[in-house]
Amino acid sequence: MDSRQQRLLDLRDILNRHNYNYYVLNAPEISDRDFDMLMKELEALEADFPEMADPYSPTQRVGSDLSDKFEQARHIYPMLSLSNTYSIHEVDEWFGRVRGALEGEKFEVVGEMKYDGTSISLIYEHGRLVRAVTRGDGERGDVVTANIKTIKSIPLELRGSGWPDMFEIRGEILMPWKEFDRLNKEREYNEEPLFANPRNAASGTLKTLDSREVARRGLDAFFYYLLGPDLPFDNHYANMMAAREWGFKVSPIMTLLHSLEQVDQFINHWDTARRELPVATDGLVFKVNNLRQQLNLGYTAKSPRWAVAYKFPAERACTRLRFVSFEVGRMGIVTPVANLDPVLLSGTVVKRASLHNEDIIRSLDIHEEDMLYVEKGGEIIPKITGVDENGRLPGAKPVRFVHFCPACATPLVRVEGEASWQCPNRFGCPPQIAGRIEHFVGRKMMNIEGIGEETVEQLYKRGYIKNIADLYDLTTDQLLLLDGFGPRSAERVLEGLEASKSIPYDRVIYALSIPFVGDTVARKVAKAFPDIDLLMAATTDQLAATKDIGPRIAQSITEYFANPANRETVARLRAAGLQFAAPEESTEGATDLLGGKTFVISGTFTHHSRDEYKDLIERNGGKNVSSISRKTDYVFAGANMGPAKLEKATSLGIPIIDEATFLDMIGQPL
């Protein structure tokens, strides 16, 4: 395998991770533009290496926001993504392709605002809302009808007349800036994590299980597309104007454009004017108006040819670097941060931006008090993108990375194979200690109420806690000495500590801050080693043999438990009553019906999810493998199984079974 083929495989992993961050965690790490550039690179490589085609490649699917907390439903019409452009020139090229494909036939284009929220599909029957489904993976989505009904701008019953007996309308659920600011102020007051932007807030709110909380958060919606077998008009614009009459909030920005010049004027106007809008936006959308022409233009594998998105360029500003600070995280990684003269970007004041590592500082060639270009990637995360060398002060010296920990003066060490520098003083460096305590008490870990960053800082400075185990020795008298603490505050902390003793074993492992062990790895480790004694006794080879646990993670776990200080902490936490074993009921229902048989799962299923089927295989003594070989016993095939896997299984003579057959094998009814 040459380097370009390896890059292809790496890009698939990278893009799958970013899809998960964006659609499931609502925590994007890169801008939309950077994501699209990676996607285009992967598309080009896959075109060069057709033998490496994979139906599960990110280029063949739409990112998913599915949740196992909601019922799921299949979309009547797939919800495809739009292809993105980043310049007027690229939009003009799309316009030219449409004109060529229509062979000179006249056509109109509808210009629309691309709102930055979360997509929704609504089904109406007999003039009433009957179902609301999120975009999901484009084929299936989560049913969130109860939550959608709380949004006052969405009609539950239609007004007027002329609407089809059944139709689907699609739109964007939004959180207006004023509601976003109000919600974040509340969350800050309650010491809850702040939402990064209105899109995250809207998406998170829509997946809230309590519809009363959804109603309180002030969501809004704009609608942009009508589908159905019996639409009133033969063009998109007239259908949306009709939908407005039926009670839907259709953007007044939607405009019928008759020429390429008008398309370009629309872009130039809204590149600036959109900043005055009360909701977040991230681009424009252009659609061929005539439905017959849309049908003739058709679709690619993942997007319609009759529509295109234009993404606004990231807002950019130039501001003076005041100084670079070096900050230490809970794992000892030292991160350089540019502290800037305040500058307004995308509605917020930016004063700081991460420089990530020493290599970034060198590649940008940053000098003291330079004028730096700052962008907000995807209008979310401030990013230093360049230096205005014309603004460099005479005699300014290059910014140098520190060689000693800024917190404890310990010499830094380079992380092997990475660009990061690390402070090795794990048990004596204050920000590492405080960071691990803050991580331990966090909502996804031990969820201890009443202890935030400021409280941890006070407790550490007063000498009450020096590691996570000290939390369980805190007393009411100690807590009452903290600034801002009264009897009820102290009681809340102690109640939270007591409640944390019932947190499951896998979350306790995650809370320990073992390097490279996140929540997903912690669950896998807890399943493979169902009590802490087994885990502490495990060798690196035993850990590396666990599914999805590579050599680096295995080495990190064994090194963690080889340290006597960590073993002492675990012993104290166990004595305090924390859960250090998986509950016995987790092994209930286990059988040997599949007796070591290996299965490859492919496709989509009706009665259980893929993960649930994988769990059933393992619970019944089978083994899941990812690729088909002569050693594979069965291919468990659902709908839309990849043709390459089907062909390989057939050529090797491996039995292909469906859901009914598999469930019969383990004695479960359909």
Looking up residue 541, the CATH number of its domain turns out to be 1.10.150.20
Q: How do residues 38-47 score in pLDDT, each as one tens digit?
A: 888 898 898 8
Is the per-residue pLDDT at 611 higher than 90?
Answer: no
- 303 with 354, same domain: the answer is no
- 101 with 214, same domain: the answer is yes
- 407 with 514, same domain: the answer is no
Contacts (Cβ under 8 Å, ≥6 apart) of 424: 332, 410, 412, 413
Name beta bridge partners: 172: 119, 222
Which one of 69, 106, 114, 249 is the catalytic residue?
114
Contact 386, 371 (CB under 8 A): no
- Cα–Cα distances in Å, from 255 out to 9, 227, 242, 247, 292? 42, 19, 14, 19, 19
Which residue, of 414, 449, 472, is where some domain finishes?
414
- 140 with 263, same domain: the answer is yes
Residue 644's pLDDT is: 65
- 506 with 578, same domain: the answer is yes
Considering only CA atoms, which of 385, 396, 326 is closest in space to residue 350? 385
Q: Residue 326, class by beta-carbon neighbours within 10 Å (0-12 exposed, 13-18 middle, 19+ buried)?
A: middle
- 465 with 575, same domain: the answer is yes
The rounded distance, in Å, linking the Cα atoms of 67 and 118 is 14
- 56 with 152, same domain: the answer is no
Is the per-residue pLDDT at 586 higher than 60?
Answer: no
Q: What is the token pair recorded at 335? A: 């991160």
Residue 37's pLDDT is: 84
Q: Do β-strands 598-602 and 634-637 pair in parallel, antiparallel, or remain unpaired?
A: parallel
In a domain, 640, yes or no: yes
Q: For the whole prediction, is pTM greater than 0.85? A: no
Q: How do residues 72-118 score in pLDDT, each as one tens digit?
A: 888 998 888 888 888 999 999 999 999 999 988 999 999 999 998 89
Using only the alpha carbons of the chain, give its radius of gyration. Answer: 28
Place of tokens 């919606």: 221
In a domain, 419, yes or no: no
The average pLDDT across 354-380 equals 84
Which residue, of 553, 584, 615, is where some domain finishes?
584
Considering only CA atoms, which of 568, 557, 550, 622 is closest in space to residue 592? 622
Please give the tally of structural domains in the chain.
5
Domain that holds residue 116: 72-311
- 545 with 604, same domain: the answer is no
Most confidently modeled range among 327-331, 550-554, 557-561, 642-646: 557-561
> Is 376 marked active-site?
no
- 274 with 391, same domain: the answer is no
Is the per-residue pLDDT at 294 higher than 50?
Answer: yes
- 135 with 270, same domain: the answer is yes
Q: How do residues 509-531 score in pLDDT, each as one tens digit?
A: 999 999 888 877 888 899 889 99
Residue 62's pLDDT is: 53
Which residue, of 414, 444, 460, is where some domain finishes?
414
- 499 with 453, same domain: the answer is yes
The rounded distance, in Å, linking the Cα atoms of 614 and 72 is 19
Q: How do residues 621-637 score in pLDDT, each as one tens digit?
A: 888 887 788 889 999 98
Looking up residue 321, the CATH number of its domain turns out to be 2.40.50.140
Tell me the pLDDT band of 64, cut-offs 50, 70 and 90.
low
In a domain, 613, yes or no: yes
Is the per-residue pLDDT at 568 higher than 90?
Answer: yes
Considering only CA atoms, which of 227, 232, 236 is closest in space to residue 287? 236
Looking up residue 607, the CATH number of its domain turns out to be 3.40.50.10190
The rounded distance, in Å, linking the Cα atoms of 407 and 405 is 5
Q: Do β-strands 84-85 and 307-311 pair in parallel, antiparallel, or remain unpaired?
A: parallel
Give residue 328's identity as a one-letter amino acid code: V
Contact 513, 331 (CB under 8 A): yes
Considering only CA atoms, which of 207, 61, 197 is closest in space to residue 133? 207
Q: Residue 165, class by beta-carbon neighbours within 10 Å (0-12 exposed, 13-18 middle, 19+ buried)?
A: exposed
- 436 with 572, same domain: the answer is yes
Is the per-residue pLDDT at 259 higher than 80?
Answer: yes
